[in-house]
Amino acid sequence: MSHHVHHAIWYKQCYSYYGILESLSGMPFDVEFMSFDDIKQNGIPEDVGVIINAGDAGTSWSGDKAWLDEQVVSTIREWVHQGGGFVGVGEPTAHEHQGEFFQLADVLGVQKEIGYSLSLDKYNKQSEEAHFILADQYEPIDFGESMKYVYQSNAETKVLAMEEGDVKVAVNEFGEGRSVYIAGLPYSPENTRLLLRTIYWAASEEAIMQKWHTTVQTECAAYPEAGKFVVINNSYETQQTTVYKADGSKRH
Task: Determine the pLDDT at residue 122.
Answer: 60
Lowest mean pLDDT among 41-50, 112-121, 192-201, 236-245: 112-121
Reported as a single tens digit per residue, the pLDDT across 160-182 is 998 888 899 999 999 999 999 99
Query: What pTM did the predictor assign?
Result: 0.87
Reported as a single tens digit per residue, the pLDDT across 124-145 is 678 778 899 998 887 889 988 7
Length of the chain: 252
Task: Determine the pLDDT at residue 225.
Answer: 92
Q: Is residue 178 packed enough to be buried (19+ CB in 10 Å), middle (13-18) or exposed (0-12)? A: buried
Task: Determine the pLDDT at residue 127.
Answer: 77
**Residues β-bridged to residue 27:** none
Pairing mode, strands 218-223 and 243-244: unpaired
CATH class label, 15-209: alpha beta
Ranges of each domain in the chain: 15-209, 211-252
Task: Determine the pLDDT at residue 73.
Answer: 93
Contacts 24+ apart (CB under 8 A), 235-244: 235/189, 239/215, 240/215, 241/214, 241/215, 241/217, 242/214, 242/215, 243/212, 243/213, 243/214, 244/210, 244/211, 244/212, 244/213, 244/214
